[in-house]
Structure 1
Amino acid sequence: MTASAVLSTPAADPAAAAAHFLARLSFEADVSDVHADLAAGVPGVVVVDSRAGAAWSQGRIPGALHIPTARIAELAPQLVDPSATVVTYCWGPGCNGATRAALAFARLGYRVKEMIGGFEYWAREGFAYDSDQGPDRRPVDDLTAPRSGIACAC
Structure 2
Amino acid sequence: MTVTTGAGAADPARRVADPALRVADPALRVPDPALGVAPAPPAEAAAHFRASLAFHADVSDGAAALAAGDPGFVVVDSRSTASWDQGHVPGAVHLPTALIPEQAPALLDRSLPVVTYCWGPGCNGATRAALALAELGYRVKEMLGGFEYWVREGFAYETWQGGERRSPDPLTAPVAGDDCGC
Smaller-chain TM-score bracket: 0.7 to 0.9
Q: Distance in 1 between matches of 2:152 and 2:79?
A: 18
- Alignment partner, residue 118 of structure 2: 90
- Matched residue pairs, number? 141
1:28–1:114 CA contact under 8 A, matched in 2:
yes
Q: Over the residues paired in the alignment, what is the CA RMSD in angstroms?
A: 1.4
Letter in 2 for 1:71: L
- Gap change, CA 1:136 and 1:42, over 3 Å in 2: closer
- Alignment partner, residue 98 of structure 2: 70
Gaps of 5+ in 1: 142-154
1:43 deviates by 4.4
**Richer in strand (by share):** 1
Whether 1:103 and 2:131 are equivalent positions in the alignment is yes
1:133 deviates by 2.7
1:44 deviates by 2.6
TM value normalised by structure 1: 0.87
Letter in 1 for 2:43: A
Gaps of 5+ in 2: 1-18, 23-29, 170-182
Letter in 2 for 1:48: V
Q: Secondary structure at the match of 2:38?
A: coil
Displacement over 3 Å in runs of 4+: 138-141
Letter in 2 for 1:102: A
**1:2-47 deviation per Cα after TM superposition (whole angstroms, max 9, x unaligned):** 3422222111000000000000000000111111111112343000
Q: Secondary structure at the match of 2:57?
A: strand
Larger radius of gyration: 2
- Alignment partner, residue 45 of structure 1: 73
